[in-house]
Each structure stands twice: as C-alpha cells, then as structure tokens.
Structure 1
Amino acid sequence: MEDFAAYLARIDDPQHRERTEEVLAWVSEKFPSLNEEIKWNQPMFTDHGTYIIGFSVSKNHLAVAPEQAGMNHVAEVIVKAGYDHTKELVRIPWNGSVDYSLLEKMIEFNILDKADCSTFWR
C-alpha cells in the first residue's frame, strides 16, 4: 500500500479516501502476488507486467476497470449486483456496498486469462 499512499492523500473527501483505501487494501491482502502500481495517475494491480485491474475516483463513485474481457466474464454478476457499468468499467457508488465477490471473480479471471500474456493490455 506504500505505492498508493500519495494517491490516497490527494483524495479530498474523507469518505471517498477511506473507501478507496479499503478496496485497495482488500485487493493487496487477497492477492499478495499482484504488484501495486500507479500509472496514468490511477492505482492498479499488475501481474508479470500485465494489467489485471485498475481503479479511479470520481465525484459519485469508485470506478473499477478489469478490461473488457474481465467485464464480459462477470457481466451477469454486475447486473445482479445492480451496479452501473460500461463496456470497460463498473461504478461502485460511494453510498453503496462493495461486492467483494465480484471483484474477486474479475481479478481471478484476469490472472488466469492473462497468465501467458506478454503485453500490458490484451
């Protein structure tokens, strides 16, 4: 989480900062083999140099971006969870709960699907 400290310190809203820190810490603890990185001013996790999942903060939500293949893999779960989403990201509202089982499915899929990937993006 040291890599994310400066990013977190720049989040003005204490609730947003706390939620973001909670989610990033959960990923770090659940998937300790992933590397923590800041790229394009966003916290993300990588595995052997390939992107696994990234996060960004906006006024109304925490955005979770597992790449489109990761989104497609859990599309039904996203709908059941009731999250607003696009082809590339899920929006977790600040005043809602985090579906950690959804995050886990996204991350596990990307780790397995990109095991032999030699590029950052698919």
Structure 2
Amino acid sequence: MEAFAIYLEGIHNPHHRARTEEVLTWVAEKYPSLEPKIAWNQPMFTDHGTYIIGFSVSKHHLAVAPEKAGMNHVADAIAQAGYDHTKELVRIKWEDPVEFSLLEKMIEFNIWDKADCKTFWRK
C-alpha cells in the first residue's frame, strides 16, 4: 500500500479515505501478483505492464474502471448490484456497500483476457 500512501493522504474526507483504502488493500491482498501504481493521478493495478483496474475518488462516489471490455463482461452483475455506471466505469456511492465479488469478476476477467496483451490499454 506504500504506492498509494500519498494519494490516500490527499483524500480529506476520513470516510472516503477509509473506504478507498479498504478497496485498494483488498485488491492488493487478493491479487499480490498485480503491481499497484499511481498513473494519471489515480491508483491502479497492472499485470505485466498492462492495465487491469483503476480507481478514482469524487465527492459522491468511488469510481471503478476496468476498461470497456471489463464493463461489458460484468454488465449483468453491475445492474444486479444497482450501481450507477457509464460505458467505462462503475460509481459506488460512499454510502453503498462494496460488492467485492463484482470487483473480483472484473479483475479476473481482465487478467485472463489481457494475459497476452503487450500494450497498456486494449487496442
């Protein structure tokens, strides 16, 4: 979590900071082979140099971005969780519970789908 320490310090709302740290810690512990990093001023995890999942914080929610292919793969689960979303990200309101099983599906799909990917983003 050292990679995210400065980012987390910059989240002024203690509840938002704790929730973000909880999610980032869960990913790091569940997927120790993923590399935690900050890019574009956002915490993310990569695998062999390719993007797997990223997060960002706003006033009303924690955004989760697994790329469009990752979103498409879990579209039904996103709807079932009741999360607001766009084509590229899921918005988890601060007062809503985090569906870790949904994050797991996103991450595992991206690890599998991008196993042979040689670029940061899908082409």
Common fold by TM > 0.5: yes
1:118 positional shift: 0.2
Deviation at 1:105, TM superposition (A): 0.1
Distance in 2 of aligned mates of 1:3 and 1:45: 10
Instruction: Map 1:1-122 to 2 at 5 A.
Output: 1-122=1-122
The one-letter amino acid of 2:101's match is S
Q: CA deviation at 1:5?
A: 0.2
- CA–CA separation in structure 2 for the residues paired with 1:106 and 1:21: 19
The Cα of 1:102 is off from its aligned counterpart by 0.1
Deviations 1:47-88 (A, max 9, x none): 000000000000000000000000000000000000000000
1:11-37 CA-to-partner distances (Å, cap 9, x unmatched) read: 000000000000000000000000000
- TM-score in terms of structure 2 length: 0.99
Task: For residue 117 of structure 1, report the CA deviation from its aligned partner.
Answer: 0.1
Distance 2:80 2:21 in 1: 25
Letter of the structure 2 residue corresponding to residue 2 of structure 1: E
TM-score after normalising by structure 1: 1.00
Shift of 1:4: 0.2
Q: Secondary structure at the match of 1:55?
A: strand
Instruction: State the aligned residue count.
Output: 122
Runs ≥4 residues deviating over 3 A: none
Separation of aligned partners in 2, 1:72 and 1:48: 23
- Structure 1: tracts of 5 or more residues without a match: none
How high is the sequence identity, in percent, across the aligned residues?
76
Amino acid across the alignment from 1:36: P
* Counterpart residue identity of residue 10, structure 2: R
Whole-angstrom distance in 2 between the partners of 1:13 and 1:108: 30
